[in-house]
Amino acid sequence: MFGKKDRKYWRKKALEATKLEEWDNLLSFGQKMIELDPKDFDGWATKGDAQYHLGNFDLALTFYKKAIQINNKDVLSWQNFGHTFKSLDKYKEAIKCYNMALDLNPLDRFRNNGKLRDSLVECEKLSK
């Protein structure tokens, strides 16, 4: 069993909060992960996820950017960074993020139920 001083404990709590759509709890769990390790990109991304779902898109961008600065190969952070830009109608920025996610994981063009590819195509249309 993991203790409260263990990052895995807080990650598990974050996953549970996501399933229950408890965004305020998700935010605090991400903060706990960062307190244990300020370079925990997943903690920053978790805070980004919480802010995104709370409708605080500018804060979400800040946290996703930090996650990507720590680990620029995290496909999910790039994807969520793109979704956040899309929510702000910043389609060109979203396209860059989606392309980065696809460059990092080309198989995602065919997986993920096509959601990432669909988002990319939608943003390409809207940016014209």
Give residue 121's region: left, alpha or beta (phi > 0; psi -120 to 50): alpha
At the top level of CATH, the class of 74-128 is: mainly alpha
Could you give phi then psi for residue 95, rounded to 5 degrees?
A: -60, -45
Structure confidence at residue 111 (pLDDT): 55
- What is the C-alpha separation between 77 and 30, in angstroms, rounded? 14
Q: Residue 85 pLDDT > 70, yes or no?
A: yes
Instruction: Give the residue extent of every domain in the chain.
Output: 1-71, 74-128
Asked if 1-71 and 74-128 have one fold, the answer is yes
Give the ranges where the chain is alpha helix by DSSP (H): 7-19, 23-36, 41-53, 57-70, 75-87, 91-104, 115-126
pLDDT digits (tens, 9 = 90+) for 13-68: 999 999 999 999 999 999 999 999 999 999 999 999 999 999 999 999 999 999 99
Whether residue 43 contacts residue 34, with contact meaning beta carbons closer than 8 Å, is answered with yes
pLDDT digits (tens, 9 = 90+) for 102-121: 888 876 555 554 677 777 77
Q: Residue 91 pLDDT > 60, yes or no?
A: yes
Q: Residue 1 pLDDT > 50, yes or no?
A: no
41-53 and 23-36 helices, crossing angle to 10°: 160
Whether residue 25 contacts residue 34, with contact meaning beta carbons closer than 8 Å, is answered with no
Check residues 7 and 113 and name the one with the higher pLDDT: 7
For the domain covering 1-71, report its CATH number.
Answer: 1.25.40.10
